[in-house]
């Protein structure tokens, strides 16, 4: 790997000058109630509206995007966009409306992008246009539609724009246990990948510096060897891309994503051989930044590098969790080594994380509630 290897605590010391002032407190945090007006089933994303100090969009898996005032919970929550009729009927498990990202110029253009599942099991990325407090359902332009898949699981679904204005799309390996057709390592398919495209025009083009722009794979591919990347985000300070990749039988992993990186699936699961179960060759593959076994959970959920001010000891730490156990951990983002620190054992089914415009973090859960990551009382 190409990253400079700095032991994690030395990295903290270098970054902050004072070791203890910059180190998170193990198990010193909790999930505190937030936004009581947001109590909907299967909430998956909460995105602050660019250019609007108070409002955010709430994405639910059933195909509805709602607009809420986070500063005033007495303001009614309204429907911003409803595309339930365009999706696969009765979405459940891992299908449905899975992701949203605002165009970099949203404040002036009103353009935003969504990732959803439509019949017959196509994953689709579309652009819509909003006018004020509501999007125009008739404005949909399909940007990318993946080939039909035979399984309901492993869709990915996260969308994010990088500092250069390119759109990144997290795509699962198309499902089925153990990647039956080896999509993860096949650069001739978009499944099991993170894609990078330019959507500044009418449709999309591929950036000239994408790793396979000149051949050897599909030009949309930015990184590969992924099983089901569930949530990805850019560090708002450094621009580094992070993703969590849900494992198969034994291991969950967190990856620092780089251009052209091969993250091992399905040759490896985490740092361990998967196919074959022993004696695999991981040469040329990127090891996870962090992993944990199914003794501690069963489905990793990607978060964010904390850049808020309420908990300065977390600044520069990538925060992530697990859907099944409700545990939350952090790793120091600037270091290529160092163990994860346990932050909280929430007991919640964490579906996603959210980051507000001030860099504070929230847990979106399947118990119809959103929680703020905060320190435990002294």
For the residues 330-335, what does the mean pLDDT come to?
97
Q: Which CATH superfamily is domain 33-299+362-375 in?
A: TolB, C-terminal domain (2.120.10.30)
- Over range 278-295, report the average pLDDT: 98
| Residue 148 reports pLDDT greater than 70 | yes
**pLDDT at residue 15, as a whole number:** 40
Strand pairing class (300-305; 369-375)? unpaired
The whole-number pLDDT of residue 88 equals 87
pLDDT band at 163 (very low <50, low <70, confident <90, very high): very high
- pLDDT, greater one: 12 or 95: 95
C-alpha to C-alpha distances, 38 to 83, 348, 368, nearest whole angstrom = 19, 16, 8
**pLDDT digits 0-9 by tens, 306-321:** 999 999 999 999 999 9
- What pLDDT does 89 receive? 82
Four-CA torsion 225, 231, 235, 239, nearest 10 degrees: 50
Strand order in the sheet with 122-131: 97-102, 111-118, 122-131, 134-145
Does pTM surpass 0.85? Answer: yes
pLDDT beyond 80 at 3? no
Q: What whole-number percentage of the chain has pLDDT above 70? A: 94
| Residues facing 224 on adjacent strands | 193, 262
Q: Is 209 exposed, middle or buried (0-12, 13-18, 19+ CB in 10 A)?
A: exposed
Dihedrals phi, psi of 84, to nearest 5 degrees: -55, -35
- d(CA 144, CA 197) in angstroms, rounded, equals 10
Q: How confident is the model at residue 80 (pLDDT cuts 50, 70, 90)?
A: very high
The arithmetic mean of pLDDT across residues 16-33, rounded, is: 76
Q: For residue 129, what pLDDT band results from cuts at 50, 70 and 90?
A: very high
Which DSSP letter does residue 220 get?
A: T
| Distance, C-alpha 326 to centroid of its chain | 17
Q: Evaluate if residue 13 carries a pLDDT over 60.
A: no
Which alpha helices (DSSP H) does the chain contain, by range? Answer: 8-16, 106-109
Spatial separation of the C-alpha atoms in residues 163 and 165, rounded to whole Å = 6
Q: How many angstroms separate the CA atoms of 217 and 206, rounded?
A: 13
Mean pLDDT of the chain: 94
4 or 74, which is more confident: 74
Q: In the predicted model, what is the mean pLDDT of residues 244-266?
A: 98
pLDDT of residue 7: 35
Q: 143-153 burial string, b = 16+ CB within 10 Å, else e?
A: bbebeebebeb
pLDDT grade, residue 78 (50/70/90)? very high
Q: Where in the chain is the domain with CATH 2.120.10.30?
A: 33-299+362-375
Per-residue pLDDT, averaged over 209-218, amounts to: 98
Provide CB contacts within 8 A for 267, sequence distance 6+: 184, 185, 225, 273, 274, 275, 280, 281, 282, 285
Task: Tell me the pLDDT band of 9, cut-offs 50, 70 and 90.
Answer: very low
- Using CA atoms, how far apart are residues 255 and 243, in angstroms rounded to an integer? 5
One DSSP character per residue, 115-161 reads EEEETTTEEEEEEEEEETTEEEEEEEEEEEEPPP-S-SS-----EEE
34-77 per-position pLDDT tens digit: 999 999 999 999 999 999 999 999 999 999 999 999 999 999 99
Contact partners, residue 179, CB within 8 Å, separation at least 6: 173, 192, 227, 265, 266, 275
């Amino acid at each position: 790997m190409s990253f400079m290897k700095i032991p994690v605590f030395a990295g903290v010391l270098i970054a902050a000058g004072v070791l203890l002032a910059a180190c998170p407190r193990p198990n010193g945090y909790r999930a505190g109630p937030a936004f009581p007006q947001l109590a909907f089933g299967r909430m998956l994303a909460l995105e602050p509206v660019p250019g609007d100090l108070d409002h955010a969009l709430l994405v639910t898996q059933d195909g509805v995007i709602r607009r809420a005032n986070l500063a005033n919970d007495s303001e009614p929550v309204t429907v911003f966009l409803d595309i339930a009729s365009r999706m696969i009927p009765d979405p459940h498990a891992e299908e449905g409306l899975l992701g949203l990202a605002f165009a970099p110029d949203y404040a002036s253009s009103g353009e935003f992008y969504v990732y959803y599942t439509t019949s017959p099991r196509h994953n689709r990325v579309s652009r819509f246009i909003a006018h004020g407090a509501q999007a125009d359902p008739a404005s949909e332009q399909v940007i990318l539609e993946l080939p039909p898949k035979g399984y309901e699981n492993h869709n990915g679904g996260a969308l994010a724009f990088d500092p250069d204005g390119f759109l990144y799309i997290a795509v699962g390996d198309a499902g089925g246990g153990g990647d039956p057709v080896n999509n993860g390592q096949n650069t001739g398919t978009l499944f099991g990948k993170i894609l990078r495209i330019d959507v500044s025009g009418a449709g999309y083009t591929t950036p000239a510096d994408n790793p396979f722009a000149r051949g050897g794979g599909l030009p949309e591919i930015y990184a590969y060897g992924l099983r089901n990347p569930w949530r990805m985000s850019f560090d708002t300070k450094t621009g580094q891309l992070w993703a969590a990749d849900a494992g198969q039988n034994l291991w969950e992993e967190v990856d620092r994503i780089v251009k052209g990186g091969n993250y091992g699936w399905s040759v490896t699961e985490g740092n361990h051989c998967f196919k074959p179960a022993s004696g695999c060759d991981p040469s040329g593959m990127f090891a996870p930044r962090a992993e944990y076994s199914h003794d501690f959970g069963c489905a990793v959920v990607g978060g964010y590098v904390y850049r808020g001010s309420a908990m300065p000891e977390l600044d520069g730490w990538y925060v992530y969790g697990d859907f099944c156990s409700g545990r939350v951990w952090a790793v120091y983002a600037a270091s290529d080594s160092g163990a994860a620190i346990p932050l909280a054992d929430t007991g919640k089914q964490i579906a996603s994380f959210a980051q507000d415009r001030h860099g504070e973090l929230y847990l979106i859960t399947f118990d119809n509630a959103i929680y703020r990551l905060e320190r435990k009382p002294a």
